[in-house]
Structure 1
Amino acid sequence: MAERTGLDCCTSTGDSYDIWYPADLGEGGVTHPVITWGNGTMADPQEYAHLLAHLASWGFVVIAADRTDTGTGIQLLDAVRYLTRENSDANSIFGGKLDIDAVGATGHSQGGLGAFNALARGAGAVSTAVTLEMPMAVVCASLPTVDGQSACIDPTAVTAGSVLLVNGSADGISPATQALPPEVIGMQSMQAYYDALPADVPKARAAVVGAQHNDIQGQPHCTNLSCTEGVYRYLGYVTAWFMDHLRGDTRARGAFLADTGELLHNLYWSDQASTITR
């Protein structure tokens, strides 16, 4: 695995990129799927380095804008456009080595909103999204707009692609479920977001038992506030989702099957649901 920090620039809002990529980039003519990342509020890419490097070790090129308000998805889509240009540049390290037709988005907290919005607003640039600890609607309403766009999501705007929603069962900012229905209090939980997605959009959801809002920032252990165990439990299923949806790995897909999938029966996870079939 290799890393470029602050060498690539810039988003439409002037932010540089950090990029993680396989050490054998393009070897044997292989082209690599792209994953665009969104940071949580007041966080930077290096706070997620263990997770992002792990994804790169599985053959993905992972790009993260050094931006602390990524909820609109603008910077995530800018990152995709940047790597698309680099892929067309024979003088770039990435020239001809990327599969720009296989792009996923993921992010933490506000960045999870950004990943969702990149899928919904990207006009096909992104084909799948993984949201990590995406905050409830009452929180997103307070986030700043960028270029007039809100960070709040509209699940019905996702008309293509697929979505995996992940949170921690002890996360008060991103609850797994809610006592009152969305018709009464709005979408304030992972379950409400999941249910609001169109029925024909392949989707799955699950919560890491005992994890809090910032466990995903573990490097790999907890070193910060609101973290219980660290990033370990997130790694496998997030990677498997992208292996399936960006690389066509049918074995990875098996983990999410609605009837027999491992995730649906894993005792270290709760509040699972899936519409994934063979």
Structure 2
Amino acid sequence: MNHTYTRQRGRVHTVAAVIALSFAAISSVTPAQAAPYQPAGTIETTYHAAGPHPVTTRAGTDCCSSTGDVFDIWYPADLGASATRAPIIAWGNGTLAHPREYDYLLRHLASWGFVVIAPDLTNTGTGAQMLDGVSYLTQQNSDPGSEFYRKLDTGAVGAMGHSQGGLGTLNAAARSNGLIKTAVTIEMPSQSLCASLPPLIPGQNVCDIPTTVISGSVLLISGTADPVPTTGTTGGAMQGVYDALPASISKARASLINASHNDIQGQPGCTNLGCNDGVEGYLGYLTAWFMDRLRGDSQAHRVFVSGTGEFLHNPHWTDQQSNID
């Protein structure tokens, strides 16, 4: 079943204590429409385009997480048409956000053969409900009555999240006992900012991420125009998270030039505050990362190789670093 969502204008999704302070200066400004994004790399161009699969969604019909939240799911409409099983990506929203506000991004990933599951809650920092989503799909994969029966690659699981959802992504990866093979954070608030706020989730310290026990691979993404202190607003903040991750894992980081905190919510242009250019600049390399890490795509892998990778020399990006060989 396909669903068309009405986007909410003016919602700013970040840690609550920073909302008014960070966006007061732009609260009455309607974002200008940016010129269409043009990929700057050959491989970026490949994955920036929509994938080969038509996409369908299930919204609010799959229940429930450990805290009673329904799941929204994006997946290829032709799931199961080939012998290849689909990898799973768990998504974590930013504070106050809902999965439908990232529809363009999540639909794009599904068009490349991924099944994306997102708990519909506004505090994802623990990562617990993201892991619940993976468990739910794992059960569905074993249920003969399910649409997903034997169509999912439950050994190829990734996680990705925006803002507070970035904290949730790393927390989920750290607590997954290796189930999550790769984690991607987008505009994750800096550790210093996170630690200075009242608890985002009462009774749980989501800021103290056990980075040393994360395995697999991690990609840290931010924007240079984000007014909220994040892991990528300056090289130093993102560098600290990057360095805290084990040297034994594959990891990369970069900042998208001129991206603000909520560009990732573009559909594809900007109709929401905290957005400068929209989501298009993220599409190519986020897709390539998951194609490499969850589907073993050798072309996508070359993008991130230290020293030579296209991602490290793309003029749309800055502050790049990678240890991938």
TM-score when scaled to structure 1? 0.93
Distance in 2 of aligned mates of 1:213 and 1:153: 22
One-letter identity of the residue aligned with 1:165: L
Q: 2:207: which partner in 1? A: 152
- SS of match in other structure, 1:195: helix
Aligned to 1:165: 220
2:256 alignment partner AA:
V
Alignment correspondent of 1:258:
306
Maintained 8 Å contact 1:155/1:198: no
Equivalent of 2:94, from 31, 35, 40? Answer: 40
Larger relative contact order, structure 1 or 2 (CA cutoff 8 Å, min sep 6): 2
Query: What is the aligned partner in structure 1 of residue 138 from structure 2?
Result: 84
1: CA distance, partners of 2:275 / 2:214: 34
Partner of residue 185, structure 1: none
Q: Provide the rounded CA distance (Å) in 2 between the counterparts of 1:106 and 1:21.
A: 16
What percentage of residue pairs aligned between the two structures are identical?
59
1:56–1:214 distance in 2 versus 1, CA, 3 Å = same
Alpha carbons 1:155, 1:196 under 8 Å: kept: no
What pairs up with 1:220-231 in 2 under 5 angstroms?
A: 220-231=268-279
Question: How many pairs were matched up?
Answer: 268
| Alignment-mate amino acid for residue 28 of structure 1 | S
Conservation of the 8 A alpha-carbon contact between 2:222 and 2:233:
no
- CA distance in 2 between counterparts of 1:263 and 1:153 reads 29
SS at match of 2:88: strand
Q: Which moved more, 1:135-144 or 1:36-45?
A: 135-144
1:113-128 to 2 correspondences below 5 Å:
113-128=167-182
SS in 2 for 1:220: coil
The runs of 5 or more residues in structure 2 that have no matched partner are: 1-54
> 2:56 is matched with which residue?
2
Match 2:152 to one of 90, 94, 98: 98
Q: Do 2:174 and 2:213's aligned partners in 1 also have CA atoms closer than 8 Å? A: yes
Give the 3 Å change call, closer, same or farther, for CA 144–177 of structure 1 in structure 2. Answer: closer
1:176, distance to aligned residue in structure 2 (A): 2.4
**Counterpart among 104, 108, 114 of residue 54 in structure 1:** 108
CA RMSD of aligned residues (A): 1.5
Aligned position for 2:165: 111
Work out which of the two has the higher radius of gyration on C-alpha atoms and give 1 or 2.
2
Q: Structure 1's 107 and 159: CA in aligned 2 closer, same or farther, altered over 3 A?
A: closer
User: Residues 202-245 of structure 1: CA distance to partner in whole angstroms, max 9, x if unpaired?
Assistant: 10000000111000000010111111000001011011000000
CA contact (8 A) 1:80 1:125 kept: no
Q: Which amino acid aligns with 2:200?
A: P
**Aligned 8 A contact 2:167 2:209 in 1:** no
How far did 1:171 drift?
1.2
SS in 2 for 1:27: coil
Gaps of 5+ in 1: 182-188
Distance 2:208 2:318 in 1: 24
Q: Does 1:65 align with 2:119?
A: yes
Distance 2:222 2:268 in 1: 17
Equivalent pair of 2:173/2:214 in contact (CA under 8 Å): no
The answer to whether residue 78 in structure 2 is matched with residue 24 in structure 1 is yes
The answer (yes or no) to whether the contact 1:113–1:153 under 8 Å persists in 2 is no
Equivalent-residue separation in structure 1 for 2:173 and 2:231 (angstroms):
22
The separation in 1 between residues aligned to 2:323 and 2:265, in whole angstroms, is: 28
1:118-267 matches, within 5 Å, as 118-141=172-195, 142=197, 143-145=199-201, 148-154=203-209, 156-173=211-228, 174-176=230-232, 178=234, 189-267=237-315
1:89 & 1:240 partners in 2: Cα distance?
31
Q: Give the AA of the match of 1:218.
A: G
Runs of 4+ in 1 over 3 A off after TM superposition: none
How far apart, CA to CA, are the structure 2 residues paired with 1:178 and 1:46? 29
Give, in angstroms, the shift of residue 190 of structure 1. Answer: 1.7
Does the CA contact (< 8 Å) of 1:116 and 1:153 recur in 2?
no
